[in-house]
Amino acid sequence: ADDEGRAAFDAIIAADGRIEPRDWMPDDYRKTLIRQVSQHAHSEIIGMQPEANWISRAPSLKRKAILMAKVQDEAGHGLYLYSAAETLGASRDSMVEALIEGKAKYSSIFNYPTKQWADVGAIGWLVDGAAIMNQVPLCRASYAPYGRAMVRVCKEESFHQRQGFEILLSLANGTPAQKAMAQEAVDRFYAPALMMFGPPDDASPNSTQSMEWHIKRFSNDDLRQRFVGMIAEQVKVLGLTLPDPELRFDEDSKKWIHKELDWVEFMDVIKGNGPCNAQRLERRREAHEDGAWVREAAAAYAAKQSKKMQE
C-alpha cells in the first residue's frame, strides 16, 4: 500500500496538484510541513508582541483602533496555522509546549525591539511586506490546507503593509523630527527584514527538497532580491532612503544586488540570543499561564455539552 501511496503522491506532485490531509504522504514531507507550518504559527503569535508594545501609546484613537485590529489579525493567523499543522497530526499542546519551552523556532525578526512609534510603521511596511513576498507563493504550496490558509492570511497582510506604509508616509511628511524618526526606524529594520527570507541559498539545508515538493516555489535569495527591488521603488514615494549604498539592479543577472547581511547576528538570534528573545518567551509563558482558566472553562463546557448530547 505504501508503494501505491508513494506513486499516487509522486503523480500529484508531478502534475502540480494538491495533497489533502487524508492522502498518503512520505514521512519526511509531513515532518517538514509540521516544522514549517508550526514555526510559521509561532511567528504570528510571538509577532503580536513588538506591536502590542505600542497599543497603549498610539498617537491617536484611530491609530490605536487600527493597531489593535492588526494585532488581533496576527492572533487569528497563528490559530489558523496551528489548525493547518494539526491536520498533519501535530497536537496543539505539543506545539505550544515546544514554543514556551524555547525549543521551537519562530521568525528572527520578532526578536528586535520596537523603540518608538515609527517602528510600528516600519514593521507594517517592511516586515509585513517581506511576509507577503514570502507568503504569496505559499498560497500555491502543495499541501492544500497550508495553501488555503495562506490565501486568507495574505489578504490581511496586504492591509497591514499599507497601514505601515501610511504611518511612515504621514511621519515623513510631518515635522523634521517626525521624518527623522521614520528614517531611523527604516534604518534599523531594513537588514533584519531582509534576513526574514532565511539564510543564503548555499546555506539553506531545507530549500532543495522543499522546492521539489512544491512547498517552496522560490529560493530564499530569490525572494529577498525581489523584495529589495520592490522597497527600493516604494522608499522614493516615502521620501526616505534605505541604509544600503550598495543596492543596485544588475542588468546582466537581472537581479537586485544588496549589501552583505550579518549572518553571524542572524544565527545568534535564531539560537535564542537576539536582543529580545528571552523577553518574548517570558511574555508568552505568562500569557499562557494567565489563560489557563479559559482553557479549563472551555474544556469543562465541552465535556458538559457532550454529556448532554448523550443523555
Q: Is 39 in the site for ligand ACO (CB under 6 A)?
A: yes
Shortest separation between residue 23's beta carbon and ligand ACO, angstroms? 22
Contacts of 265 (CB under 8 A, 6+ apart): none
Q: Is 83 in the site for ligand ACO (CB under 6 A)?
A: no
Contacts of 95 (CB under 8 A, 6+ apart): 38, 41, 42, 82, 85, 104
Q: Is 158 in the site for ligand ACO (CB under 6 A)?
A: no
- Residue closer to ligand ACO by CB (options 172, 269) is 269
Q: What does the per-residue mask of binding to ligand ACO show for 41-80, with x meaning CB under 6 A?
A: --xx--x---------------------------------
List binders of ligand ACO among 179-198 (CB under 6 A). 195-198
What Rg do the C-alpha atoms of the chain give, in angstroms? 21
Residues 17 and 62: their CA atoms lie apart, in Å, by: 44
List binders of ligand ACO among 255-274 (CB under 6 A). 270
DSSP string, 180-230: HHHHHHHHHHHHHHHHTT-S-GGG-TTHHHHHHTTS--S-HHHHHHHHHHH
Shortest separation between residue 178's beta carbon and ligand ACO, angstroms? 26
- Nearest to 39, CA basis, from 110, 137, 141: 110
How many residues touch ligand ACO under the rule CB under 6 A: the total is 25
Shortest separation between residue 4's beta carbon and ligand ACO, angstroms? 29
Measured between alpha carbons, how far is residue 269 from residues 113, 201, 258, 266 in Å? 12, 19, 21, 5
- Residue closer to ligand ACO by CB (options 179, 190) is 190
Amino acid (one-letter) located at 93: D
Shortest separation between residue 239's beta carbon and ligand ACO, angstroms? 26
Shortest separation between residue 81's beta carbon and ligand ACO, angstroms? 9
Among 89, 176, 205, 245, binds ligand ACO (CB under 6 A): 205
Shortest separation between residue 86's beta carbon and ligand ACO, angstroms? 17
Q: Are 169 and 239 in contact (CB under 8 A)?
A: no
Residues 220 and 198: their CA atoms lie apart, in Å, by: 6
Residues within the interface to ligand ACO (CB under 6 A): 35-36, 39-40, 43-44, 47, 105, 107-108, 131, 134, 195-199, 204-207, 210, 216, 220, 270
